Structure 1
Amino acid sequence: MEPATNNGSRSGSGSGPIAGDTRDWSRLPEDLLVSVLRALHVADAVRSGAVCTSWNEAYAAFRRFRVPSPKQPPCLLYASEALAPGAAALHCPVTGATLRIPFPQAPLARRPLLGSGHGWLVTADEASDLHLLNPVTCAQVALPPITAIHHVRSGTDEQGDPAYFVYENLPEYNYSTHRFEVDTEPTILEPVDRSHEWMYYRVVLSASPSAGRACVVLLLHMPQGEVSFARLGDDRWTWVAPGDDTGLPSRYGYRDAMYSATDGLFYLLRLDASMCSLDLNGPSPVARKILDSLPKSVDPTKYLVQTPAGDILQVWRSRDYVDSQIPAEFPPDYVDDSIGGRDPCLELNTFEMQLYKVDLHGHKVELIKSLPEFALFLGCSGSLCLPVKDFPGLKANCAYMTDDFLEYVNFLKHNRREIGIWDMAEQSMSKLVDGSPAIYPWLNWPSPIWIQPSLL
């Protein structure tokens, strides 16, 4: 995204300062302006380029030097055709400011938002292939296609339309032989532009894609949460198979993951709250079991997040469907794509949250009641735990949350989204901002996502 410019002219002679003002901000030295830009929020740095010609040149130099900005407060990124065709916006809950972002080449209003990390989004195109996208700079990187996953092949359905064949090879119980047998018939995903709704669970980045092959993309995918990864520039996804060769304890059930820059390892979290580490630094993946399954863990949605001190937390989020107080609004060409007989006017709301601190060495967890110095950010994005002292305006002991329940997000696209702030002390949710529901342009599809804006 590039700001507009003007010629920086002044009233009167056109070269001196405005009458009554002894300062001429357009004549600040470029090196000083670049130093100022380094201290600004990304949105403010982008806007600064529209002040005058000299500020625009300083902004261009700032971008050329690839100088990192200070840590940015997370923003809610959402797409809406109501803003403009193909446009999106970044809303900062800390400042209340909103920055509109045009997307002429990759309209986010028609693309799913599947993940985020290091200032970049993970989206899927019309073929359900994954791409990395920086919403501020509009830089894009293509990841290996869906057919480069170990068990996916291109084909056609019975009508001759394009489809993907997924060879799950899942064991199924045969009641005739009274034993488990492997089903070799493929699952057919169609249409191809919606295959991402079934295929992808989580996408996690180890670093900014601007780092090239140092960026490893970890993918949790169908069937039932398998693990694959790719480095930028790879043409295929590498499947992490279970067994003695890798140490991965199970093939299925992985629902969240995180990367720790502290030790250079990925951490995987299963549906039953069991955990393992995954080392992708050597020639072959190496997994080590950390934690066995925990009781009463299957139903809640679970997240992994690392505190600034390096501790790893499991966050359990319990949700249920409730009647919407505000009816859903459907477009004229709406087609009911709900599943399982769900009422399209229901909302999926959080009613409980639990926090567990993981003891990596003792192989156990400790239930904790609060995070008095921190704020969490949870959803499809890479989970964050931020010290509120570094981000004035954030609410301590709270979790800023978006929708990420796949059934709800993918199949009930016109239902209202749960975008809010969970108070851990009160065990209750409040809206992100006060006001009429009419001012919430993010309550539709694609489901909004948290992102820390970056110019790199």
Structure 2
Amino acid sequence: MDAWLDRILAHFFYSEGGLVGDDEPFVRYKNVLYDRRRGVAHTRTPVVKFRGKSETPVVQNSNFFPHRTKKRLPSADDADVTMEQATDSRSGSGLVADTVAGRDWSRLLEDLVVSVLGALHVADAIRSGAVCASWHAAYVAFRRLRLPSPRQPPCLLYASDAVDPGAAALHCPSTGATLRIPFPLAPLPRRPLLGSGHGWLVTADEASDLHLLNPVTGDHVALPPITALHHVERGADEQGDPAYLVYENLVEYRYSTRRFELDAEPTILEMDRAHEFMYYRVVLSASPSAGRACVVLLLHMPNGEVSFARLGDDRWTWVAPVNDDDDDDDDTGLPSRFGYRDAMYSAADGLFYLLRLDAFMCSLDLNGPSPVARKVLDYLPKSVNPTKYLVQTPAGDILQVWRTKDYMDSSTPVHFPPDYVDDGERGMDPCLELNTIEMQLYKVDLRRQRAELIKSLPEYALFLGFNGSLCLPVKDFPGLKPNCAYMTDDSVEYVNFWKLNRREICIWSMAEQGMSKLVDVSPTTYPWLNWPSPIWIQPSFF
């Protein structure tokens, strides 16, 4: 514990920073100035850094400390240690070690603790807020000020038998740490995890209506209900129980008439299971804390249609396809109604990009009064079978990631509980696993409208699954493996119809074209429950 706190304080004391200029936005909290735009905290406690190779600490901005020679740091026995004595320490740890002899961490100045919290990862900040009452008060102040935090490494959020049903586990592969956090809605084992982005989860309630949830803060936002989709109505099933009627309006071939006809009969979905069939992908343009600036893009049945909603909307807006009867070349509808399997939002140009199962891509502009779609890439041959993802690199390049999976027999069968009842549709197979067997990367050239096969991403790590796909520079997260994809199971059919079978949580090496499992996060080989499928998330306080 002491070593961990030493590391945190040393990180703070030896961080760079100067005074905030008069022309920069900042907020003052006690003795600290916070630059919101730059994410820098400036305190009356001296900031120490080393010049070049010199080991002599140099106090910056000494004119900002009117009582520098008599300023005292707290310790358990209130030792008479002046700031001059502290800054004269020649060792990197002396500034901390010489002033906290009694280790009474609870007596650290609140503004100092607030500053430290702003430099930590979310998981460390949460743990710090639980150290003692005074640190918790600083944590509350830090949250109230909405101060920026460093960019967070992705964490695996999952339900586990090792934690309370009303909680979730958050494992960070970059640091190896696992944190238990409360899950404020229904117990996580009863909540599907349908997507994530900007630190928020997308989940569904017992009526299959979508909600956005920040698992760190407990904040949640209800999205328009499932009946607010253009083709869904509330009705009853054959037994008279409440159900949803989904009017897919698909054209099917009738052998009796030997022609294609419109099928106007609705598909009936049980209310509590409709989410298993209805939702394919959910993508957020921004954090829900941004209000109506957050646009939620939804890919849904039948067969990958597209709808969207802004926070606060009562209904989903369906993105209609091009009218086949319209000869106008300027038609701005979707090039096709069906087939979309993934999407991403690019903050660089403010556009969504849609990916069809045949690798066809189009942009979607939702900034105007009506949606505007434009083709950016034609379909690619031999592309239908792999699961496909869209992801943008930090350099701004757009990638298509193709993930080929196959069903295999596991040598370690899963255990079915005695009270498990098979639905009779697919049968129980405790050895069935869906595993990744191949991965391909394509760099998309938007200007030339073509895709180029690439072999590696030596500077990056990918995070793929139900989450909004991520591509992160490994130099910013030293614990991550370069040229690898961290993957979770995201097959809607396999996850929902074989709920008790084992999930694929793994790391794919582009160099070796092979799989390795994620480092065990508990004494149990598979600490996560098999349903809901674990999901990647970058924790956030906002």
Aligned to 1:237: 316
Following TM superposition, by how much is the alpha carbon of 1:341 offset from its aligned partner in structure 2, in angstroms?
Answer: 5.1
1:25 aligns to 2:105 (yes or no): yes
User: Any conservation in 1 of the 2:153–2:172 contact (CA below 8 Å)?
Assistant: yes
1:124 aligns to 2:204 (yes or no): yes
Aligned to 1:40: 120
Moved more, 235-244 or 176-185: 176-185
Whole-Å Cα distance in 1 between the matches of residues 348 and 395 of structure 2?
A: 10
Deviations 1:40-65 (A, max 9, x none): 01010011112223221111111001
The one of 292, 303, 316 equivalent to 2:389 is: 303
Aligned to 2:226: 146
User: Any conservation in 2 of the 1:379–1:450 contact (CA below 8 Å)?
Assistant: yes
Distance 1:441 1:142, change over 3 A: same
Aligned-partner SS, 2:453: strand
Aligned-partner SS, 1:227: strand
Following TM superposition, by how much is the alpha carbon of 1:22 offset from its aligned partner in structure 2, in angstroms?
Answer: 5.5
Whole-Å Cα distance in 2 between the matches of residues 150 and 443 of structure 1?
A: 35
Aligned to 1:312: 398
Deviations 1:307-356 (A, max 9, x none): 00010000000010111121111123212247445734211000000000
The one of 265, 268, 292 equivalent to 2:378 is: 292
Aligned-partner SS, 1:302: strand
Distance 1:437 1:54, change over 3 A: closer
Whole-Å Cα distance in 1 between the matches of residues 422 and 410 of structure 2?
A: 17
User: Any conservation in 2 of the 1:337–1:412 contact (CA below 8 Å)?
Assistant: no
Distance 1:51 1:97, change over 3 A: same
Following TM superposition, by how much is the alpha carbon of 1:247 offset from its aligned partner in structure 2, in angstroms?
Answer: 2.7
Aligned-partner SS, 1:333: coil
Higher-Rg member (1/2)? 2
How many residues end up aligned between the 2 structures? 443
The one of 376, 390, 414 equivalent to 2:476 is: 390
Question: Where do residues 307-386 of structure 1 align in structure 2 (5 Å cutoff)?
Answer: 307-337=393-423, 339-340=425-426, 343-386=429-472
Give the TM-score, by structure 1 length: 0.93
1:203 aligns to 2:289 (yes or no): no
User: Any conservation in 2 of the 1:344–1:412 contact (CA below 8 Å)?
Assistant: no
Aligned-CA RMSD value: 2.0
Aligned to 1:9: none
User: Any conservation in 1 of the 2:464–2:486 contact (CA below 8 Å)?
Assistant: yes
1:220 aligns to 2:299 (yes or no): yes
Aligned to 1:115: 195
Aligned-partner SS, 2:291: helix
Whole-Å Cα distance in 1 between the matches of residues 134 and 162 of structure 2?
A: 34
Distance 1:20 1:429, change over 3 A: closer
Whole-Å Cα distance in 2 between the matches of residues 240 and 284 of structure 1?
A: 9
| Amino acid of the structure 1 residue aligned with 2:262 | V
Whole-Å Cα distance in 2 between the matches of residues 143 and 435 of structure 1?
A: 33
Whole-Å Cα distance in 2 between the matches of residues 95 and 14 of structure 1?
A: 31
Whole-Å Cα distance in 1 between the matches of residues 209 and 232 of structure 2?
A: 12
Aligned to 1:64: 144
User: Any conservation in 2 of the 1:86–1:110 contact (CA below 8 Å)?
Assistant: no
The one of 148, 169, 182 equivalent to 1:102 is: 182
Aligned to 2:85: none
Aligned to 2:254: 174
Question: Where do residues 262-281 of structure 1 align in structure 2 (5 Å cutoff)?
Answer: 262-281=348-367
User: Any conservation in 1 of the 2:122–2:149 contact (CA below 8 Å)?
Assistant: yes
The one of 505, 508, 529 equivalent to 1:422 is: 508
Aligned to 1:7: none
Distance 1:217 1:320, change over 3 A: same
Deviations 1:103-129 (A, max 9, x none): 253311110000000000000000000
Whole-Å Cα distance in 1 between the matches of residues 100 and 524 of structure 2?
A: 43
Moved more, 54-63 or 273-282: 54-63
Structure 2: segments with no counterpart, 5+ residues: 1-74, 80-96, 324-330
Moved more, 171-180 or 381-390: 171-180
Distance 1:20 1:387, change over 3 A: closer
Whole-Å Cα distance in 1 between the matches of residues 455 and 226 of structure 2?
A: 41
Whole-Å Cα distance in 1 between the matches of residues 359 and 412 of structure 2?
A: 35
User: Any conservation in 2 of the 1:398–1:424 contact (CA below 8 Å)?
Assistant: yes
User: Any conservation in 2 of the 1:246–1:284 contact (CA below 8 Å)?
Assistant: no
1:432 aligns to 2:518 (yes or no): yes
Deviations 1:107-166 (A, max 9, x none): 111100000000000000000000000111111100000000000000011111111000
Fraction of identical pairs, as percent: 81
Question: Where do residues 441-452 of structure 1 align in structure 2 (5 Å cutoff)?
Answer: 441-452=527-538
Whole-Å Cα distance in 2 between the matches of residues 40 and 57 of structure 1?
A: 17
Whole-Å Cα distance in 2 between the matches of residues 285 and 104 of structure 1?
A: 35
User: Any conservation in 2 of the 1:80–1:86 contact (CA below 8 Å)?
Assistant: no
The one of 162, 166, 184 equivalent to 2:242 is: 162
Following TM superposition, by how much is the alpha carbon of 1:246 offset from its aligned partner in structure 2, in angstroms?
Answer: 3.3
Aligned-partner SS, 1:438: coil
Which protein, 1 or 2, shows the higher relative CO under an 8 Å CA cutoff with sep ≥ 6?
Answer: 1
Structure 1: segments with no counterpart, 5+ residues: 1-12
